[in-house]
A = this chain, B = another copy of it.
Amino acid sequence: MGKKKETPGIGHNSAGLPAIPEPDAGIIVKADLLSVIERVEHLEEEKKGIAEDIKEVYAEAKARGYDTKVLRKLISERKRDAAEREEQNAILNLYATAIGMDLFA
């Protein structure tokens, strides 16, 4: 939990003007801060929109008779499988490299 506010940079750019605002210097540029906040908020809006789209797909599927619980299960299984396959490939690659064999040659 070491952090708190170790203000990186204070002192070592004393020579010139900063190209970017320096919150650490004690000068908080309101517009700059707002920009950060709003960018995040905008992205979170988008993310939320996507989440709603997903819900819609499930709702539609449900309306057509699918069991959404099972659907979710299936999808998560596929995700798992993909991750495992990835790992398998990584291992394969590792071994191949170890014996001086380039799978992509």
Contacts and interface: CB of A to CB of B under 8 A. Distances in A.
Interface string A62-104: 0111111111011101110000000010011011111111010
Contacts of A58: 40
Interface of A: 1, 4-5, 7-9, 20-25, 28-30, 33-34, 36-37, 39-41, 43-44, 46-47, 50-51, 53-54, 57-58, 61, 63-71, 73-75, 77-79, 88, 91-92, 94-101, 103
Nearest to A23: B65
Copies in the complex: 4
The majority secondary structure among interface residues of chain A is: helix
A54 B43 contact: yes
A33 B64 contact: no
Contacts of A39: 57
